[in-house]
Chain A
Amino acid sequence: MIRVENLSKYYGGTRALGPVSFEIADGETVGFLGLNGAGKTTALRILACDLRPSAGSVSVDGIDAVASPHEVRKRIGFLPENPPVYADMTVRDYLRFAGSLRGMKRADLDKRMPEVLALTHLEDRQDHAITTLSHGFRQRVGVAQAIIHAPKLLILDEPTRGLDPVQIVEMRSLIRDLKQNHTVLISSHILPEISQTCDRLLVLGYGALIGSGTEAELSAAEAAAPRTEAEVAAEIRQIVVAIQPVTARAAVTAVLSKLDGVSAVAEPIEQAGALTFTLSCNRDIRAAVSRAIVNGGWDLVRLDYVHGELENTFIRLVSGGTDARN
């Protein structure tokens, strides 16, 4: 349904996005994941025909977005980071206005309005002026305007931004409901938000597409580089440090490095009163690590075998990228 080829966007001489290429099938719910400034909003604004790409092509249902933007706009509902609402209007009048702009006739609006108000739980607020609504309700109004014309493609840019925990849960539930009737694109820099609502992830970093696939596929990729994390009690570290501060830290590293199967030991990180060592290894060697730590006279407070966790994949992907935009 959506085909993106070599898409790029430059602001002046600075590259904000691309070149990226991907396809999204009908009915999919795809999450754009990336840190702030990764190019998520730029990508979504281009897909929503709010921004012209500098290079490359975007087609929706085979229609070129640059050549025929209005045809594409008819098929898209877009919720930007800030809901595009008119504060002086009531919710109902605003939705009627938004639907009319998308070419809906009065009869179609009359029929669609109750469905949208029910879906977004705005029935009780439909006659309220938008200026009187909380941020959470405004966000719901933003979603409502995006779906009023029943678009095939729904684009939500950071839909839970600024919401409180209860509102976030409600918004996730709303997105799950929307998945049934729309192809949905969501952007976020918050991993749980994406992983709980999306079928597939596109990971952006420094404007480039640095990962793509389902959660299982990305986790499988992570499995190719498993690591063991060992945490040594701060109390022991402090005793050792009191005597020989440099060699104590190095001593643990040396012991762990000699273990069979360990290919590398990263620089230890002092965190929450403990030193965390990250070992790169090709199999689960927790038993050997625990024996080495205990035999060395240190207290082992945590031992994890990190294998295929999505969050680690995300961190590895975004931290592994390089900013080639300038």
Chain B
Amino acid sequence: MRATSIIFKRELGAYLRSPIGWVVAAVLLLVDGILFQTQAMGDKHLSADVLRAFFIYSSVVVGIAAIALSIRLVAEERQTGSIVLLNTSPVRDVEVALGKFLAALAFLAIMIAMTFYMPLLIKINGKVSWAHVAVGYLGLILFGAASLSIGLFASALARHQLVAAVVGAALLASMGQLFPLADKLDAPLKGALGQLDVWWIHFQQGFASGIVNVKDIVYYLALTYFFMLLTVKTLEAKRWQ
């Protein structure tokens, strides 16, 4: 896994050196702050409700940021031709995928951490538990990781970043609409499809409300693993074409 560490450092450095990282971070914090002010604190009276609304709005912004951060990871390398260096080096595709994913996750986690002043304001001026704050952030990280893996998979599929963005956003948005879609169906499909939803069941009804369910954690880890596996298999297939 030495190569993973090398690639992790390069990719994290790339986010810090290039405008994309700073632009995404600035937009995330700006939009999150505006949503916090205008929506989360709108007509809510209970501070726990305000905190829950903050995590719900933040998760949407985190999902968009995750796609924006991940689409460049492989597609950009194909566009510029730098992927040849990785392809002709003695590194495994799983190391490449993991290094890139962890770098994007680290950067996303830093951005998420920078929103902490908002829950802190609620805590100071209201009555919420630290546990609720911690669970909400755990949910944001897990949801962000799953979204990143989807974006990374889209990036591995596409040659152009725009295509990767469209595919990644479409996948994430579709998976976030499985619960409303399942609601229109009959059992047993209703239950199964609903549980596959990436946001409503596992985040909105779980982490955002300060509730930790093992099944929610397992779901996000499994989803991330699944799309990482797809990414590795896609890289393997394209490397030796």
Cα distance, A49 to B89, chains bound together (Å): 9
What 0/1 pattern do residues 1 to 34 of B give for CB contact below 8 A with A? 0110011001001100110000000000000000
Q: Is the CB of B84 within 8 A of A88?
A: no
Q: Is B80 an interface residue (CB 8 A)?
A: yes
Specify which of A49, A87, A93 is in contact with B88 (CB 8 Å cutoff). Answer: A49
Quote the shortest CB–CB distance from A228 to chain B (angstroms).
Answer: 48
Cα distance, A70 to B87, chains bound together (Å): 10
Q: Is B91 an interface residue (CB 8 A)?
A: yes
Q: Is the CB of A101 within 8 A of B81?
A: no
Q: Is the CB of A48 within 8 A of B18?
A: no
Given A49-B88, A50-B87, A87-B80, A101 and B6 contact (CB-CB distance below 8 Å) = yes
Chain A residues with CB under 8 Å of B13's CB are 88-89, 93
Given A52-B240, A101-B6, A84 and B84 contact (CB-CB distance below 8 Å) = yes
What 0/1 pattern do residues 58 to 83 of A give for CB contact below 8 A with B? 00000000000111011010101011
What 0/1 pattern do residues 107 to 139 of A give for CB contact below 8 A with B? 000000000000000000000000000000000
Specify which of A52, A74, A88, A98 is in contact with B85 (CB 8 Å cutoff). Answer: A98
Q: Is the CB of A145 within 8 A of B85?
A: yes
- Across the interface, name the chain B residue whose C-beta is closest to A157: B84
Chain B residues with CB under 8 Å of A84's CB are 81-85
Chain B residues with CB under 8 Å of A71's CB are 90
- Across the interface, name the chain A residue whose C-beta is closest to B3: A101
- Across the interface, name the chain B residue whose C-beta is closest to A105: B2
Number of interface residues of A (CB under 8 A): 29
Specify which of B3, B10, B18, B88 is in contact with A50 (CB 8 Å cutoff). Answer: B88
Q: Is A176 an interface residue (CB 8 A)?
A: no
Q: Is A103 an interface residue (CB 8 A)?
A: yes
What 0/1 pattern do residues 73 to 115 of B give for CB contact below 8 A with A? 0000000111111111111100000000000000000000000
Q: Is the CB of A102 within 8 A of B89?
A: yes
Q: Is B125 an interface residue (CB 8 A)?
A: no
Cα distance, A35 to B33, chains bound together (Å): 60
Specify which of A69, A70, A80 is in contact with B84 (CB 8 Å cutoff). Answer: A80
Q: Is A24 an interface residue (CB 8 A)?
A: no
Chain B residues with CB under 8 Å of A103's CB are 2, 90
Q: Is the CB of A88 within 8 A of B18?
A: yes
Q: Is B38 an interface residue (CB 8 A)?
A: no
Chain A residues with CB under 8 Å of B129's CB are none
Chain B residues with CB under 8 Å of A22's CB are none
Cα distance, A69 to B240, chains bound together (Å): 10
Chain B residues with CB under 8 Å of A49's CB are 87-88
Cα distance, A50 to B82, chains bound together (Å): 12
Chain B residues with CB under 8 Å of A214's CB are none
- Across the interface, name the chain B residue whose C-beta is closest to A53: B240
Chain B residues with CB under 8 Å of A50's CB are 84, 87-88
Q: Is the CB of B18 within 8 A of A78?
A: no
Quote the shortest CB–CB distance from B94 to chain A (angstroms).
Answer: 13
Chain A residues with CB under 8 Å of B85's CB are 84, 98, 101, 145
- Across the interface, name the chain B residue whose C-beta is closest to A49: B88
Chain A residues with CB under 8 Å of B87's CB are 49-50
Q: Is the CB of B82 within 8 A of A80?
A: no
Cα distance, A113 to B90, chains bound together (Å): 20
Q: Is the CB of A48 within 8 A of B10?
A: no
Q: Is A305 an interface residue (CB 8 A)?
A: no
Given A52-B241, A80-B81, A87-B80, A101 and B14 contact (CB-CB distance below 8 Å) = no
Chain A residues with CB under 8 Å of B240's CB are 51-52, 69
Q: Is the CB of B88 within 8 A of A97?
A: no
Q: Is A212 an interface residue (CB 8 A)?
A: no
Cα distance, A50 to B83, chains bound together (Å): 10
Given A100-B6, A101-B6, A78 and B241 contact (CB-CB distance below 8 Å) = no
Find residues 18-67 in chain B having any chain A CB closer than 8 Å to their own CB.
18
Cα distance, A204 to B17, chains bound together (Å): 43
Given A52-B241, A86-B82, A73 and B10 contact (CB-CB distance below 8 Å) = no
Q: Is the CB of A101 within 8 A of B86?
A: yes
Q: Is the CB of A73 within 8 A of B90?
A: yes
Quote the shortest CB–CB distance from B82 to chain A (angstroms).
Answer: 5
Cα distance, A97 to B17, chains bound together (Å): 15
Chain B residues with CB under 8 Å of A89's CB are 10, 13-14, 17
Q: Is A85 an interface residue (CB 8 A)?
A: yes
Cα distance, A85 to B10, chains bound together (Å): 12
Chain A residues with CB under 8 Å of B17's CB are 88-89
Cα distance, A49 to B17, chains bound together (Å): 31
Cα distance, A101 to B83, chains bound together (Å): 12
Quote the shortest CB–CB distance from B216 to chain A (angstroms).
Answer: 37
- Give 19 A-B pairs besides A101-B86, A102-B89, A102-B90 with Cβ atoms closer than 8 angstroms: A49-B87, A49-B88, A50-B87, A50-B88, A74-B90, A76-B88, A82-B80, A83-B81, A84-B83, A85-B80, A86-B80, A88-B14, A88-B17, A89-B10, A97-B10, A98-B89, A101-B6, A101-B90, A103-B90
Q: Give residues in A with beta carbon < 8 Å to B.
A: 48-52, 69-71, 73-74, 76, 78, 80, 82-89, 93, 97-98, 100-103, 145
Q: Give residues in B with beta carbon < 8 Å to A.
A: 2-3, 6-7, 10, 13-14, 17-18, 80-92, 240-241
